[in-house]
Structure 1
Amino acid sequence: MTLIEHRPFSDAPVAAATRGPLLPTVGRDLDVPVLGGDAVRYANFDWAATAPALESVVAAVTAALTGYGSVHRGAGLPSQSSTARYEVARATVGAFVGAREQDVVVFTRNTTDSLNLLARSVPAGAGDVIVLDVEHHANLLPWTAGPHRCLAGKTTVAGTLAALAAALDAAPAALVTVTGASNVTGELLPLDRVVALAHDAGARVAVDAAQLAPHRAIDLAASGVDYVALSGHKLYAPFGAGALIGRRDWLDAAPPYLLGGGAVHDVRDDGTDWLPAPQRHEGGTPNLLGAVALAAACDALCGLPAGALEAHEAALKDRLLAGLAELEGVSVHRIWSDSDEAIGVVAFTVDGYAPGHVGAYLSAEHGIGVRDGRFCAHRLLTRLGLPGGALRASLGVGSSAADVDRLLFALHELVGGRAHAQYGVVDGAWQPLDDDRDLSAWLPDTSAAPTGCRAV
Structure 2
Amino acid sequence: MARDFPALEQRVNERRLVYLDTAATALKPRAVIEAVTQVYARDCANVHRGLHQLSQRASAAYEAARAALAGFLGARSQEEVVFVRGATEALNLVAASWAMPRLGQGDRILVTALEHHANLVPWQIVARRTGAILDVAPIEPSGEVSLDVLASRLTDRTRLVAVSHASNVLGTVLPIREIARMAHARGALLVVDGAQAAAHVRIDVKDLDCDFYALSGHKVYGPSGIGVLWARAELLAEMEPYQVGGDMVADVAFEGASYRAPPHRFEAGTPNIEGAIGLGAAVRYLRGLDAAAREAHERDLLEYAVSTLEEIPGVQIVGSPATRIPLLSFTVEDIHPHDLATFLDGEGIAVRAGHHCAQPLLEQLGHSALTRVSFGIYNTHADVDALAEALRGARDFFSVF
Q: What TM-score, normalized by structure 1, do the two folds share?
A: 0.82
Residues in 2 aligned to 1:87 and 1:128: alpha-carbon distance in whole angstroms:
37
Aligned residue among 95, 102, 107 for 1:119: 95
> Structure 1 residues 225, 23: closer, same or farther in 2, change over 3 A?
farther
Deviation at residue 41 of structure 1 after TM alignment: 1.0
Matched, 1:164 2:164: no
Q: Is 2:352 the counterpart of 1:352?
A: no
CA distance in 2, matches of 1:128, 1:361: 45
**Cα displacement string for residues 75-123 of structure 1 (whole angstroms, at most 9, x for unaligned residues):** 1011111111111111110110111248611100111011000111225
Using the alignment, how far apart are the partners of 1:301 and 1:97 within structure 2? 12
Which protein shows a greater Rg?
A: 1
**Aligned partners of 2:75, 2:382: CA distance in 1, in Å?**
38
- Does residue 374 (structure 1) correspond to residue 355 (structure 2)? The answer is yes
Distance in 2 between residues matched to 1:209 and 1:270, nearest whole Å: 40
Identity over the aligned pairs, expressed in percent?
A: 38
Find out whether 1:97 has 2:73 as its counterpart. Answer: yes
Residue 59 (str. 1) matches residue 45 (str. 2) = no
List per-residue Cα deviations over 1:227-263 (Å, max 9, x = no partner).
1100111111124210101112333333322221111
**What is the match of residue 108 of structure 2?**
128
| CA distance in 2: counterparts of 1:44 and 1:241, whole angstroms | 22
Q: Choose 156-165 or 50-59, whichever is displaced more.
A: 156-165
* 2:138 maps to which of 133, 147, 153: 153
Return closer, same or farther for 1:421/1:103 CA change in 2, 3 Å cut-off: farther
Query: Would the aligned equivalents of 1:139 and 1:179 in 2 still touch at CA under 8 Å?
Result: yes
Map Cα deviations across residues 3-50 of structure 1 (whole Å, 9 max, x no partner).
Answer: xxxxxxxxxxxxxxxxxx3661131111112xxxxx101111111101
Report the count of equivalent residues: 390
Q: Which residue of 2 aligns with 1:141?
A: 121
Q: Structure 1 residue 307 and structure 2 residue 292: aligned?
A: yes
> Could you say what secondary structure the match of 1:28 adopts?
helix
Question: What's the counterpart of residue 287 of structure 1?
Answer: 272
Residues 420, 31 of structure 1: alpha-carbon distance in 2 compared, 3 angstrom cutoff: farther
Instruction: Give the counterpart letter for 1:343 in structure 2.
Output: I
The yes-or-no answer on 1:404 pairing with 2:379 is no
CA RMSD, 1 decimal: 1.9
Matches within 5 A, 1:238-277: 238-277=223-262
Structure ranking higher in helix proportion: 2
Report the Cα offset of residue 413 of structure 1. 1.9
Pick which of 245-254 and 139-148 moved more: 245-254
Could you list the runs of 5+ residues in structure 2 that have no partner in the other structure? 127-131
Once residues 374 and 259 of structure 2 are traced to their aligned partners in structure 1, the CA distance between those partners, rounded to angstroms, is: 42
State the TM-score, normalizing by the size of structure 2.
0.93
Q: Cα offset for 1:376?
A: 0.1
SS at 1:244 equivalent: strand
Among candidates 343, 354, 373, match of residue 361 of structure 1: 343
Letter in 2 for 1:400: T
Alignment match, 2:170: 185
Query: What SS does structure 2 have at the residue aligned with 1:122?
Result: helix
For residues 357-400 of structure 1, the C-alpha deviation after alignment (integer angstroms, 9 at most, x for no partner) is: 11111112x111110000000000000011x2110000001111
